[in-house]
Structure 1
């Protein structure tokens, strides 16, 4: 769920992983991310998209509330939909830019928390707000929703196992018959020293359009603590099906507002 144009799972995980790395107390985390995505998505012409996203995450006792606002540059025939691209038959040479769809999330810890050893369980609600211009392919012009359960088990040595199970509900559009669908992700994460945190995960989502393959992706990211209240994240995602992007590169800077 996770990369973002806004890849909601990764966005939520970034805040949690960063807080875990530099042990930030409750407060406000600001995230500044640059992402670059490319792929054909079943079309003869490649679509490229780049985004700069500003995110704010309020970390409280047992909850996290986030808002992510992207500015996007899009080249090619695709249309951005909730962090991925569909093979929409837009102009092959289209080049657009502007505000993308904002994403708001709220996570509630049910068992344990983001810095808890042992088992942890949380529930997350996500809303994609239709702020991207659908005529430019920067969004669908509809509001989407998602619900997910986040599971984790962290050992005393810092090694962790994670799993996400969720479902997305898409706003219906005449041009794109988007299908509601389930998604899953499993991963491992572990520290390398006191400042570096590695995440590996694989994810799968149901088909976005009728007759299209499932979206399958693998990702690796590293979170490096620059100080007790700042961190950098570097990420790379590769697609495992024609419905997924070929490559996604990302870099994020996270800072706690004191």
Structure 2
């Protein structure tokens, strides 16, 4: 008999996207001349958690992202590599849940391969300038390209729609988002579509460096699971006119998210 362990963001995908996009907005506000440029980004994310079980599941996620930053539109395409070490019964669901079959083996194994391709488009609906309100609307599609037979994904597509708001006041920026995610359910499972959101604050230390924290929350993906509650501390640094770097640390507070996570990325404008 199949059952679900927990509701979870086993790779907290939406968190990494929010942080990356937030960094972009902060720098774009101060450097409007970057509009119309193409950039490449890569990095590494690692997180670990038990998700209410007795054994840990460790995730290594390496995204390769191409981004086009226009005056009003930002387009992103991410092709990731993913490695999962944990019970053989776990199925990784990007933006979703780790699922298991009760009869499946709990012996730790390592699986790896191409992850789920993610495409996103963001429209700048309102821009109040360097000291005003910024409102963006974003649509995201997670394609089920990861191998479901290896437990790297469900093989189903997911969709998300969200609004992002930023208010700049001097060296401080308050930001948040609110969205709705639609899941494709694999055979034998029913995943709930959920509302999710985040709220955070960033401080600009100088023209090159900013840092801050944010709180992410989300509904249960499955009725027997846990809600998403996690906090992220991050720092962004502009190395020069074409290079940017970013790092973050994540702490989860429920069984619906990793216990800990950390990551770093580098972005180069072409």
TM-score when normalising by structure 2:
0.87
* CA RMSD in angstroms, aligned pairs only: 2.0
- Residue 131 of structure 1 aligns with which residue? 145
Instruction: Report if aligned partners of 2:42, 2:64 keep a CA contact under 8 Å in 1.
Output: yes
Separation (CA, whole Å) in 2 of partners of 1:31 and 1:79: 27
1:49 is aligned, of 59, 63, 82, to 59
1:184 lines up with 2:197 in the alignment? yes
**Mapping 1:201-220, distance limit 5 Å:** 201-220=214-233
2:149 match: secondary structure: helix
Question: Are residues 7 and 246 of structure 1, via their aligned partners in 2, closer, same or farther at CA, if it must alter by over 3 Å?
Answer: same
Q: Larger deviation: 68-77 or 17-26?
A: 17-26
- Residue 236 of structure 2 aligns with which residue? 223
1:20 lines up with 2:26 in the alignment? yes
1:81 match: secondary structure: coil
Q: Larger deviation: 83-92 or 52-61?
A: 83-92
- Residue 74 of structure 2 aligns with which residue? 64
TM-score when normalising by structure 1:
0.91
Larger C-alpha radius of gyration, 1 or 2?
A: 2
Instruction: Report if aligned partners of 1:68, 1:103 keep a CA contact under 8 Å in 2.
Output: yes
Instruction: Report if aligned partners of 2:59, 2:85 keep a CA contact under 8 Å in 1.
Output: yes
1:173 match: secondary structure: coil
Question: Are residues 60 and 16 of structure 1, via their aligned partners in 2, closer, same or farther at CA, if it must alter by over 3 Å?
Answer: farther
Q: Larger deviation: 192-201 or 245-254?
A: 192-201
Mark the runs of 5 or more structure 2 residues left unpaired by the alignment.
1-8
Deviation of the 1:9 alpha carbon: 4.3
2:92 is aligned, of 80, 88, 91, to 80
Separation (CA, whole Å) in 2 of partners of 1:245 and 1:16: 22
1:107 lines up with 2:117 in the alignment? no
Mark the runs of 5 or more structure 1 residues left unpaired by the alignment.
none
Deviation of the 1:84 alpha carbon: 5.6
Q: Once the two structures are superposed, what CA deviation does each residue of 1:100-133 show, in whole Å capped at 9, x if it has no partner?
A: 00110000011107x6421111110000011100
Separation (CA, whole Å) in 2 of partners of 1:35 and 1:109: 28
Q: Once the two structures are superposed, what CA deviation does each residue of 1:182-232 show, in whole Å capped at 9, x if it has no partner?
A: 001000112112211113100111111112110110001101111111111
1:122 lines up with 2:131 in the alignment? no
